[in-house]
Structure 1
Amino acid sequence: MGLLPFEKEKRKLVKRYESSTNPEYGLKPEDRTIAELLNSGIINLDKPGGLTSHETADIVRKIMKVKSAGHGGTLDPRVTGVLPIALNKATRILEVFLHGGKEYVCEMKLHKEVSEKDLLKTFKKFTGTIKQLPPIKSSVKRILRERTIYYIELLEFAGRTALFRAGCEAGTYIRKLCTDMGESLGVNAHMQDLRRTKASCFKEENSITLFELQEAMALYEEKSDESLLRKCVMPAEAGVQHLKKVIISDGGVAGMSYGAPLMLPGAVAVTENIENNELIAVMSQKNELVALGKAAMTGKEMLEKSKGICVNAYKVFIEREVYPRSWKKE
């Protein structure tokens, strides 16, 4: 089975020094109340066919009785599968889902029969960097774009129907991929059916349906039973599993909560292969998402140096005053 780039990458979190966190401040994500989860949670939804992604997110918003709900990565109405839905404050995290890649299972209809050997050759030809012109019916400007196909695996092949799994960069049109592969084979082809099985760190096997979500919410409202709802709504931290990380001290959390850059002494542990200017997740020692940040050093430099700015805050998520400030008000 194919793996997306972040799934293949070996990541090692290396401690810079020993540090402890004060239990009086902050809270582990798993210890949050339902109200806190609903205000900043993520749902790994199995989108049904026949609805736009926007309509699906709006249905979730109404079921959960929240002010806002946004989706991570548009699916056409007829396409089913993994559609991460972010609630309220967590909607600010949606852009990071573009960094993790997608996976689809597609049924492709060939207009004439071809050999399995030729089909596999074509799959190989279209693996790697390809050029795509978005379909006529698309929400983006029709200009030639480069996209990366990480893998294409044949699952079933009978007659003129091929079922395959493809891992690809966000923004890849599988419908156009089918058309282009058909032209390459000289027989033409079209996408018959499509299902998304991965969206960055969210997978099909852990997704839930709208019915299951509705059932969980009803159980909570009618019987104050949180058990099902806690299985449906994940903390926002679940959405950054695919990002490299910097773990910071309690004092570092306080500073970054005001948008200050992180100075190297505040970095307790780092993913060793961070690249300069890479988008990373800055986490507290309780595994709270403090901020999304842009690395100002490589992971290697963070481990070797002792001072300097190591991360610039990009989007701050933790509230101010959750961790006490070590500086005085003017």
Structure 2
Amino acid sequence: MSYTGVLLVDKPRGPSSHQVAAWVGDMLKSEVGHSGTLDPMVSGVLVVMLGKAVRLAPLLLLHEKEYVACLRLHADIPREHVEAAVKEFTGRVYQRPPRRSAVKRALRIRVIHRIELLDMQDRLVLIRVRCEAGTYIRSLCVHIGRILGCGSQMIELRRTKSGGFSVENTHTLHEVRDAVENGDEEKILSMILPPEEAIADIPKLIVRPSAADAVSHGAVLAGVGVIRCDKFVRGQSVAVVTEEGRLVALAQGLRDSEKFVCGEPGLIARSTRVFLSPTRSNKQY
């Protein structure tokens, strides 16, 4: 059986994200991809895409992330000083990828939406960070130590959320393996989320069946085929879905939503990733 959807894996420490995704692909005999690479010694939410859901990668890679990190200070610092230093990193921050990173060490700007001190014992500090994709938590931990004037380093990191996907909804590799070895198809299907779960936070264009079929054949979506839509601007990523909530395609808006009327002529969006099979039958994927 070929699977399409999203499997949330609780990545263990040790293997790389690529290895974990490859193991899932081997077990489920499916094409796979993953969004948001985790270093080998980092654990937590790894979003593994199966089958046609691999086409969701450009969208999922942009998801905000949440982490819980433990860092060690190199000197004894009062808790109130640490709390004050941590709060300074809310907002836009400048970062350079760590030396061990595989990407070019160019200076970049990332946004930290929320950061809080969860606990502190002696020189060990536990923080939770909600941040823009591509934020280096290891670098953040080093910079906190610099602000405090004592130095610090990250010693443990766990991703707790990726977009709207939480670690509470993940499955271990052992769970996947057991379901496969037991031939428990119902269990396997219960672990795989439909592609629609990944588009909860982007604008949607609800389209007629004829428009859905046209888009699946590569046509540019016109206003006559749109029943209703969320607010979006030109160039923004949108999801084209049926009235039943099935994902037809990811697309790029060609006009601001305020500049057209649903049901009237005019090109609205151009698909970038198509999920609906190009047929007028009831087959969806």
TM-score (norm 2): 0.94
Partner of 2:227: 268
Distance in 2 separating the partners of 1:241 and 1:45 = 19
For residues 57-106 of structure 1, give each alpha carbon's deviation from its aligned partner in whole angstroms, at most 9, with x where no partner exists.
1111111122x211111000010000011112221211211222111000
Q: Secondary structure, in 3 states, of the residue corresponding to 1:171?
A: coil
Q: Which residue of 2 aligns with 1:253?
A: 212
- Looking at structure 2, the residues matched to 202 and 158 of structure 1 have their Cα atoms a distance apart, in angstroms, of 30
Counterpart of 2:15? Answer: 51
1:313 paired to 2:276 = no
Q: 1:144 corresponds to which residue? A: 107
> Aligned to 1:283, what secondary structure does the other structure show?
strand
Distance 1:256 1:143 in 2: 39
For 2:262 and 2:32, locate their aligned partners in 1 and report how far apart those are by CA, in whole Å: 42
Contact 1:254 1:323 (C-alpha < 8 Å) held by counterparts: no
Instruction: Give the match's secondary structure for 1:314.
Output: strand
1:108 aligns with 2:71: yes
1:60 to 20, 24, 31: 24
**CA drift at 1:109:** 0.8
CA contact (8 A) 2:226 2:262 kept: no
Deviation of the 1:305 alpha carbon = 8.5
* Identity of matched residues, %: 35
Task: Confirm or deny: 8 A CA contact 1:257 1:319 kept in the other structure.
Answer: yes
User: Which structure has the higher relative contact order (CA within 8 Å, separation 6+)?
Assistant: 1
Task: Please tell me whether the aligned partners of residues 227 and 263 of structure 2 are also in contact (alpha carbons under 8 angstroms).
Answer: no
For 1:75 and 1:258, locate their aligned partners in 2 and report how far apart those are by CA, in whole Å.
36
* Structure 2 residue aligned with 1:327: none
Matched, 1:186 2:145: no
Which secondary structure state, in structure 1, belongs to the residue aligned with residue 25 of structure 2? helix
2:71–2:156 Cα contact (<8 Å) kept: yes
Q: Does 1:86 align with 2:49?
A: yes
C-alpha contact 1:45 1:82 (8 A) present in aligned 2: yes
Give the aligned residue type for 1:105. V
Q: Aligned residue for 1:237?
A: 196
Q: Map 1:1-330 onto structure 2 (within 5 A).
A: 35=1, 38=3, 40-66=4-30, 68-219=31-182, 221=183, 225-272=184-231, 274-303=232-261, 306-322=264-280
Query: What secondary structure is seen at the aligned counterpart in 1 of 2:61?
Result: helix
Structure 2 residues without counterparts, runs of 5 or longer: none
Q: Distance in 2 between matches of 1:187 and 1:298?
A: 50
What is the CA RMSD across the aligned residues, in angstroms?
1.7
Cα offset, 1:323, TM superposition = 5.2
Amino acid at match of 2:87: K
- Alpha carbons of structure 1 residues 305 and 61: separation in structure 2 relative to 1, 3 Å: closer
Q: Which amino acid aligns with 2:219?
A: A
Check conservation: 2:224, 2:262, Cα contact below 8 A: no
Q: 1:284 to 1:182 in 2, by over 3 A?
A: same
Structure 2 residue matching 1:137: 3-state secondary structure? coil
Return the offset for 1:297.
2.2
C-alpha distance after superposition, 1:238-283 (max 9, x if no partner) = 22222221111101101101111111121112113x1221111111
- State the SS of the aligned residue for 2:80: helix
User: Unaligned stretches of 5+ in structure 1?
Assistant: 1-34, 325-330
Contact 2:225 2:263 in 1 (8 A): no
The superposition leaves residues 136-179 of structure 1 with CA deviations (integer Å, 9 ceiling, x where unpaired) of 11111111001011110111112111111101111111000000
Greater mean deviation of Cα atoms: 81-90 or 44-53: 81-90
